[in-house]
Amino acid sequence: MEAVLARHAAWRGLAQTTAPGHDPALWSAPREDITLARVSQRLRFHHFEIDLAARELRDGGRLLQLSPKIFDCIAYLLDNRERAVGRDELMAAVWGRADTADSQLGQAMLKARRALGDSGEAQHTIRTVAGFGYRWIADVHEVEVAAEPPPPAQAAAPVPPAPEPDTGAAPAAVTRETRSGRRHWFAAAAVAAVAAVVLSSAFWAWRQPHPAPPPERVVAAAPASAPDTLVVLPARVDADEEFSWLRLGMMEFVAARLRAAGRTVAPSENVVSALRAGDAAQLPETIRAALKPRYLVVPHARRTDHGWTVGLELQDRDKAAREVTASGEDAIAAARAASERLLDVIGRLSPAAVAEAAALPSEELLSRIDAALLADDLDGARRLLQSAPPEQRAAPELRLRLAQVEAGAGRFDVAEADLRRLLAEVPPETDPVLRASIASSRGAMLVRLGRAAEAEAVLDSSMETLESRSEPALLGKSHMRRGVARALQGKADAAMADFAQARIALQLAGDALGLAQVELNEGALSGVRNHPGDALESFRRAERQFERFGISSELVTSMANQVVAHRVLLQPGQGLEVSQRSLALLGRLPSPDLEHLLKLRRAQALADNGRWSDAEMQLGELARGIDPAREAELAALTANERALLELARGRAAEAYALTEPTAEKLTAPEFDSARSEAWFLAIRALHAQERVAEAGALTRRYAAWAAPSGNTTFVIHARLAEAEQAAAERRYAEADRAYEDALRAANAQNVPADIADVAESWAGSLIARGELIRAAPVVGQIARYAEHDFGSALLQVRLYHALGQGEAWRSALDRARALAMERAIPPELVKPPAAVRIGNATVGVGN
Q: Which residue has the higher pLDDT, 659 or 176?
A: 659
Calculate the alpha carbon distances from 434 to 270, 372, 437 in Å: 22, 21, 5
Helix (H) or strand (E) segment spanning residue 393: helix 390-393
Side-chain-side CA neighbours of residue 444 (13 Å): 32
The model's confidence at residue 693, banded by pLDDT at 50, 70 and 90, is very high
Q: Is 730 helix (H, G, I), strand (E, B) or coil?
A: coil
Average pLDDT for 710-720: 93
Q: Mean pLDDT score of the chain, rounded to an integer? A: 80
Positive or negative: CA dihedral 216, 222, 223, 225: positive
The model's confidence at residue 59, banded by pLDDT at 50, 70 and 90, is confident
Residue 329, class by beta-carbon neighbours within 10 Å (0-12 exposed, 13-18 middle, 19+ buried)?
exposed
What is the spatial distance between Cα 190 and Cα 515, in angstroms, rounded to a whole number?
A: 18
Res 4: pLDDT: 35
User: Using alpha carbons only, what angle is made at residue 521 by residues 524 and 180, rounded to the nearest 5 degrees?
Assistant: 10
Res 223: pLDDT: 44
DSSP string, 228-247: T-EEEPPPEEES-GGGTTHH
Q: Let me know: does 27 contact 132? Beta carbons within 8 Å.
A: yes
Nearest of 359, 370, 297, 367 to residue 330 by alpha carbon: 367
Give start and end residues of each alpha helix (H) in 781-826: 790-803, 806-820
What is the spatial distance between Cα 159 and Cα 633, in angstroms, rounded to a whole number?
A: 30
Residue 826 clears pLDDT 60, i.e. is over it: yes
Helix (H) or strand (E) segment spanning residue 461: helix 452-465
Residue 786 clears pLDDT 50, i.e. is over it: yes
The model's confidence at residue 846, banded by pLDDT at 50, 70 and 90, is very low
Farthest CA pair distance, the chain: 108
Res 824: pLDDT: 92
Res 194: pLDDT: 34
Nearest of 510, 103, 516 to residue 297 by alpha carbon: 510
Nearest of 194, 698, 720 to residue 407 by alpha carbon: 194
Residue 686 clears pLDDT 90, i.e. is over it: yes
The model's confidence at residue 690, banded by pLDDT at 50, 70 and 90, is very high
Contacts of 4 (CB under 8 A, 6+ apart): 190, 191, 192, 194, 484, 487, 488, 520, 521, 524, 525, 528
Q: Let me know: does 702 contact 680? Beta carbons within 8 Å.
A: yes
Residue 495 clears pLDDT 70, i.e. is over it: yes
Residues 586-640 have pLDDT tens digits of: 887 877 888 999 999 999 999 999 999 999 999 999 999 998 888 899 999 999 9
Average pLDDT for 292-321: 87
Give start and end residues of each alpha helix (H) in 261-330: 268-277, 283-291
Cβ–Cβ contacts within 10 Å for residue 141, how many? Answer: 10
Average pLDDT for 241-269: 86
Displacement of CA 73 from its chain's centroid (Å): 28
- φ/ψ bin of 710: left (φ > 0), alpha (ψ from -120 to 50), beta (otherwise): left
Res 351: pLDDT: 57
The model's confidence at residue 143, banded by pLDDT at 50, 70 and 90, is confident
What is the spatial distance between Cα 435 and Cα 417, in angstroms, rounded to a whole number?
A: 15
What is the spatial distance between Cα 760 and Cα 742, in angstroms, rounded to a whole number?
A: 12
Average pLDDT for 641-667: 93
Helix (H) or strand (E) segment spanning residue 456: helix 452-465
Cβ–Cβ contacts within 10 Å for residue 773, how many? Answer: 11
Q: Which residue has the higher pLDDT, 635 or 167?
A: 635
Average pLDDT for 18-41: 31
Helix (H) or strand (E) segment spanning residue 513: helix 512-528
Res 752: pLDDT: 95
What is the spatial distance between Cα 110 and Cα 819, in angstroms, rounded to a whole number?
A: 45
The model's confidence at residue 666, banded by pLDDT at 50, 70 and 90, is confident
User: Using alpha carbons only, what angle is made at residue 219 by residues 217 and 225, rounded to the nearest 5 degrees?
Assistant: 145
Max avg pLDDT among 16-20, 30-34, 838-842: 838-842
Cβ–Cβ contacts within 10 Å for residue 662, how many? Answer: 26
Displacement of CA 287 from its chain's centroid (Å): 24
Q: Is 49 helix (H, G, I), strand (E, B) or coil?
A: strand
Displacement of CA 721 from its chain's centroid (Å): 33
Nearest of 433, 592, 789, 775 to residue 9 by alpha carbon: 592
Q: Is 841 helix (H, G, I), strand (E, B) or coil?
A: strand
Give start and end residues of each alpha helix (H) in 529-666: 532-549, 552-568, 572-582, 592-608, 612-625, 632-648, 652-665
Residue 34 clears pLDDT 60, i.e. is over it: no
Percentage of residues in the chain having pLDDT higher than 90: 42
Domains in the chain: ranges and CATH: 24-142 (1.10.10.10), 145-176+690-847 (1.25.40), 230-564 (1.25.40.10)
Res 736: pLDDT: 97
What is the spatial distance between Cα 635 and Cα 678, in angstroms, rounded to a whole number?
A: 12
What is the spatial distance between Cα 572 and Cα 607, in angstroms, rounded to a whole number?
A: 9
Res 226: pLDDT: 55
DSSP designation for 382: H
Res 151: pLDDT: 38
Residue 587, class by beta-carbon neighbours within 10 Å (0-12 exposed, 13-18 middle, 19+ buried)?
middle
Residues 201-248 have pLDDT tens digits of: 222 222 222 233 333 333 333 444 456 789 999 999 888 888 888 888
Residues 499-550 have pLDDT tens digits of: 999 999 998 888 888 999 999 999 999 988 889 999 999 999 999 988 888 7
Res 782: pLDDT: 94
Res 636: pLDDT: 94
Res 54: pLDDT: 75
Contacts of 158 (CB under 8 A, 6+ apart): none
Res 279: pLDDT: 72
Positive or negative: CA dihedral 385, 389, 393, 396: negative
Residues 508-521 have pLDDT tens digits of: 888 888 999 999 99
CB crowding 625-637: b at 16 or more within 10 Å, else e? bbeeeebbbbbbb
Written as one letter, the residue type at 213 is P
